[in-house]
Amino acid sequence: MQLENLVVDAADPQRLGRFWEAAVGAERLSDGPDGFETRLALEHGPVLDLCFQPVPEPPTAPPRLHVDLAGGARQGEVVDRLLALGARRLDVGQGDAPWVVLADPEGGPFCVVEERAASAGTGPVAALPLDSADPVRDAAFWSWLTGWVEVPGAAPRSLRHPSLRGPLLELCHEGGPKGAVKNRLHLDVRLEAGEDPDEVAAAVAQRGGREVHPGWGDLPWRTYADPSGNELCVLPARS
């Protein structure tokens, strides 16, 4: 399996997708009534597709997954460029933290982080921080699921593509348990040829996750929750 998509619920997928495409310098894949997709590819590193799907209901719970953009020594310039693209400053109680918190055009919070040793070679997306009830347990789960490896970082546990390029998946202590409300952002992984979906489902359960049946009809992918309740999808292998 490999991590393939960062999926974002959006009231206006085209508007939000164009913002993030410009923010990270991604390449357009599709733009239609079913959503907007753009690709962030790093040379000799991972490929991550940003997928914006139409979901008219606004989020009603604090985000458990968000994006950290790399600012580094040019953090101020990066912030100014994002504000010009349509972001706005956001106060979430960060105080005098060295990172800058912004909101995208639909109010979704994200950060522009300062210079960090762990951010070397990440590209424009420095990290994907994910709330976790048990970062050690969940790092093992996500490492098995994606093939990413544990690396040093600012979070309790951090994973990265085996190339050691691209963003970190950071397992962070959650502020409270996951509720029933679906996360606004989630991750998709794709099966490799020959991997059996039923065997993967059994292995997810053995590692503390569970399959979710949201009642969205007959879909080609299967929906799960990680051991902390965060939604994810497992896509079929490409034919």
Tokens of 29: 């894949």
Residue 174 clears pLDDT 90, i.e. is over it: yes
Question: What integer pLDDT is reported at residue 56 of this predicted model?
Answer: 87
Give the pLDDT band of residue 214 (cuts 50, 70, 90).
confident
| Total Cβ atoms within 10 A of residue 236 | 12
Mean pLDDT of the 213-230 span: 90
What CATH number is attached to the domain comprising 213? Answer: 3.10.180.10
Segment 186-191 mean pLDDT: 98
Q: Around Cβ 220, how many Cβ atoms within 10 Å?
A: 7
pTM of the model: 0.96
Per-residue model confidence (pLDDT) at position 165: 97
> What is the C-alpha separation between 141 and 213, in angstroms, rounded?
20
How many C-beta atoms lie closer than 10 Å to residue 179's C-beta?
11
Asked if pLDDT for residue 90 goes beyond 80, the answer is: yes
User: Per-residue pLDDT for 216 more than 80?
Assistant: no
Mean pLDDT of the chain: 96
Taking each continuous run of H as one helix and of E as one strand, the counts in the chain are 4, 16
pLDDT, tens only, 112-127: 999 999 999 999 999 9
**Alpha-carbon 172 to chain mean position:** 13
Report the b/e string of 90-113 with b at 16+ CB within 10 A.
Answer: beeeeeeeebbbbbbbbebbbbbb
Asked whether residue 59 carries a pLDDT value surpassing 90, the answer given is no
How many domains in the chain? Answer: 1
- The pLDDT assigned to 100 comes to 98
Q: Is the confidence at residue 1, as pLDDT, over 80?
A: yes
Expressed as residue numbers, the domain containing 67 is 2-235
**Proportion of the chain above pLDDT 70, given as a percent:** 100
pLDDT for the residue 58: 86
Q: pLDDT value at position 70?
A: 97
